[in-house]
Amino acid sequence: MAVIIDGNKIAQEIRGEVRAEAVALKKNKGIIPGLAVVLVGEDPASKVYVTKKAKACTEAGFLSRQHKLSVDTAEADLLKLINELNADRSIHGILVQLPLPKHISADKVIAAIDPRKDVDGFHPYNVGSLLTGSPLFVPCTPRGIMELISRTGISLPGKEAVVVGRSNIVGKPIALLLLAQHATVTICHSKTKDLAAVTSRADILIAAVGKAQMITEKMVKQGAVVIDVGVNRLDNGKLVGDVAFAEVAEKTSYITPVPGGVGPMTIAMLMKNTLDAACSQLSGHS
Ligand code: NDP
């Protein structure tokens, strides 16, 4: 029977470590890590995420600044705000909550963020640097997955890793991070032929698709490690992942649940990225 990886517990550990480091930073250097979160419009899910991020900042002892802009904010005004935050020395991390309204180019806005404050890791500089192996910031969900793997003591060198999903925020970056840790990596997507044949090879299987319970027991190798990134709501309101948990867990050595697996790690890593931003801006190395 599988070991269920407790993302809530690991995320709490990390948030405790970050809090302790933030206290030390304030005491020794007089610096309080600052995160600015920008929300444009009234998207209900985005509002929930922004509130959670602000609460996590407060718990970590960070300065939390929220900029809530109306849905009809002009792109030029948002870019002006980003420039002001880039220049604000009390703000070390800037996060623009996505999606943005259609009349604003997310690419343009992300590119306007100073890469040294890009705690989401979406700026083209950090995306490119992830490819060459030295990013200032790694996107929070993939970084969280790597922490789950390393803190569980799972070894990666030489392992066959299969990532299902190739999005810029999860699939591609997690594939690069696994490669950097010497796994042999395959990326699958909607055009992959015979998906089950590929996933069945995986020692480490990452599901980041957004299709409820699509990874079934037949698609998983005996003893595999399965990390489920998917978050899907069923008609009955239940939250499930991309993996058919009960049947797949029987076959795995380690598996993450949904909820309580990858999800809590994302905010924990946002706090870690913001702390890292404060430390590197202090030392002037970035
Ligand atoms: P996207 O919709 O951007 O990407 C989905 C990927 O899955 C695409 O690459 C797509 O292929 C691929 N795909 C779709 N159908 C199939 C199929 N039948 N077989 C194989 N591949 C398929 O999603 P995200 O990466 O943004 O998110 C994935 C899931 O992770 C979602 O459920 C999301 O809610 C969740 N998520 C959770 C987070 C957390 O903190 N826990 C954070 C971010 C995301 P193609 O490229 O060919 O279209």
Q: Is 263 in the pocket of ligand 1 (CB under 6 A)?
A: yes
Q: In the predicted model, what is the mean pLDDT of the chain? A: 97
pLDDT of residue 286: 45
User: How far is the C-alpha of 106 from the C-alpha of 274, rounded, in Å?
Assistant: 21
Answer yes or no: is 47 within a domain.
Answer: yes
Pairing of strands 160-164, 184-188: parallel
Does 49 share its domain with 153? no
Atom number of ligand 1 nearest to Cα 166: 9
Catalytic residues: 53, 97, 120
DSSP-derived 3-state class of residue 106: helix
pLDDT of residue 284: 63
Q: Does pLDDT of 278 surpass 70?
A: yes
Does 152 share its domain with 68? no
Could you report the per-residue pLDDT of 125-136, keeping only the tens digit for each? 999 999 999 999
CB atoms within 10 A of CB 27: 9
Spacing, Cα 170 to ligand 1 middle (Å): 8
Answer yes or no: is 269 within a domain.
Answer: no
* Structural domain range at position 228: 140-263
Spacing, Cα 67 to ligand 1 middle (Å): 28
pLDDT of residue 283: 74
Could you report the per-residue pLDDT of 166-206, keeping only the tens digit for each? 999 999 999 999 999 999 999 999 999 999 999 999 999 99
Atom number of ligand 1 nearest to Cα 171: 25
Question: Percent of the chain, pLDDT > 90?
Answer: 97
Number of domains forming the structure of the chain: 2
DSSP-derived 3-state class of residue 254: strand
User: How far is the C-alpha of 115 from the C-alpha of 200, rounded, in Å?
Assistant: 38
Answer yes or no: is 48 within a domain.
Answer: yes
